[in-house]
A and B are shown apart, each in its own frame.
Chain A
């Protein structure tokens, strides 16, 4: 409990400061308060919506792993930018809020099946309060599309 000498509770003020820092994307430290979770709605390959909550600073890959979400083959290289299996697609509005992409991420993203202009690698996208309620679509993998093709001839 933080209080001034005259007894004013400073905790709401501290909370407000942290919120401002997070919104500006400058909060490097996860401030683990019970109301500080960010809700993410994943849409899996079947169109099913799966909602999960993570802490600010967690990557979307962390969230998938921590919540044990069953996306086949997601995050094969364990978040080391050595594959493209944590490929996620966002709306333009959400994509704009996700921050800049490094060349390193782009290089691996370029290999992703079904690449779009609003695609990112989940291991590189970190949660912030500004992303509360965001939707992330798990795109189809090669297998799903090729089911209509006969690979024998």
Chain B
């Protein structure tokens, strides 16, 4: 009822919406990461937007995915904060769509619902030994050092010399860099103290980053590769023969791929200048790229429980460029290692049986963000296109979906004339179910506390690792 909604609104300290504001069209966004915020930013030009986020804290992968030593990438948070402060925008953290409230219930309360909850699952290798101790999906390892509550007990074993990372995208390069960065560099970042302490004790000295295809197919980009090349106290350990024929191929490829390949070639093949040669000689850690290798089996050590190596199929390439395919040659190789990190892709999961889901592609089937066979339901971000792309890609993709929503609202494709309750309809449901949403100003109190704790250690923030602690913080 209106009164219930008013009371619920006051409890959260939110500006009440009077009955007359029902004239405003109301859209809700599920997921408070970059896709959710960019979609909201665009929608706010025309409609009222409520953002629902499962965790108390917002920002998704900008908080839990972007590496601690890439703080500038997180500058987008000021744009998101501005969005959250918009008079027509309301953030509801600590609300799990799918369990606390269903997508159907949201569709009844809002004129349109946009699903932007990203990709919380992992693609698995699907090989024997994947469940051995010492094998971790990159998403979990990154979540561990970035303070994602569900990864805080990961405790990865770092008492081995060699780590093998499967996959050669930017996530793989981030993981390699964090494993090998000097602690003095990391301790100034917002990496969690727990993982910083573990990395300070780490015995990992060598990281091999392994890909199925060749140097021309690596998914990582030049900035991240350059960071590895310039990483203090490390030297590259490449196999020059893996780069045969590259110089010829360089002549016909577009500039971005060309510069990236040139950097790899220079690092792998060219004899270094004297200063660089000395630097490499003095380095205590090493990293390398290995190509044309696919995992066949993760091998256990004598105890049968912990990883001691990985068996790889040797491939050859069929075709050229981005479309080339790795084909096994029949040859097999073994690499010794005590840590395996699989960085072969994130994966979206279905959160509500009422939402169409394509299990093969692991996305919500859609056309320009409009969910197929579900009027009033939309998707943006990785849930829409698959888990590929940087923040700017997600931004464009989200603006695109918002455009579809507004188009449908104004064209009459969606019934936007009848009043919808929006959050005044959802609030009482959540209340009955004992769910206590966290507002954006509550997050700002959590933010303040994290920054206060970080300042004590010379870090930009010390993240709270525990949902219960986050909930306690804003009520204090």
Known A-B contacts A78-B75, A152-B366; the reply to A83 vs B392 at CB < 8 A is: yes
Also in contact, A151 and B367, with CB within 8 A (given A73-B395, A110-B256, A146-B400): yes
Which chain A positions have C-beta within 8 A of B78?
78
Contact between B222 and A110, CB atoms less than 8 A apart: yes
B376, chain A: closest CB distance, angstroms: 17
| Distance between Cα atoms of A82 and B274 in the complex (Å) | 31
Q: Is there an interface contact between A76 and B395, defined as CB atoms closer than 8 Å? A: yes
Q: Are B73 and A111 in contact (CB under 8 A)?
A: no
Residues of B within 8 A of A152 (CB): 365-367, 372
B367 touches A142 (CB 8 A): no
Contact partner of A106 (CB less than 8 A), chosen from B70, B72, B259, B372, is B259
Contacts of A39 in B (CB 8 A): none
A141 to B393, CA, bound (A): 9
Give the number of residues in B that approach A within 8 Å (Cβ atoms): 34
Give the residue of B72, B396, B403 whose beta carbon is less than 8 angstroms from that of A142: B396
Closest to A87 in B: B392
Given A73-B392, A110-B221: A151 and B368 within 8 A (CB)?
yes
B16 at the interface (CB under 8 A from A): no
Question: In the complex, which range does the number of interface residues on chain A fall in?
Answer: 20 to 34
A20 to B286, CA, bound (A): 51
In the complex the two chains form, is B76's CB within 8 Å of A77's CB?
Answer: yes
A4 contacts B by Cβ under 8 Å: no
Return 10 A-B CB contacts under 8 Å, by A number. Answer: A76-B76, A76-B392, A77-B75, A77-B76, A82-B75, A83-B73, A106-B259, A110-B259, A113-B396, A146-B368
| A contact set with B: CB distance below 8 Å | 72-73, 76-78, 80-85, 103-104, 106-108, 110-111, 113, 115, 141-143, 146-147, 150-153
Write the residues of chain B forming the contact surface with A, with a CB cutoff of 8 angstroms: 38, 42, 70, 72-73, 75-76, 78-79, 221-223, 226, 255-256, 259-260, 365-368, 372, 384-385, 390-393, 395-397, 399-400, 403
What 17 new A-B contacts, CB under 8 Å, besides A110-B222, A113-B396? A73-B392, A73-B395, A73-B399, A76-B395, A78-B72, A82-B75, A83-B391, A85-B395, A107-B222, A107-B223, A110-B255, A111-B390, A142-B397, A146-B368, A147-B368, A152-B365, A152-B372
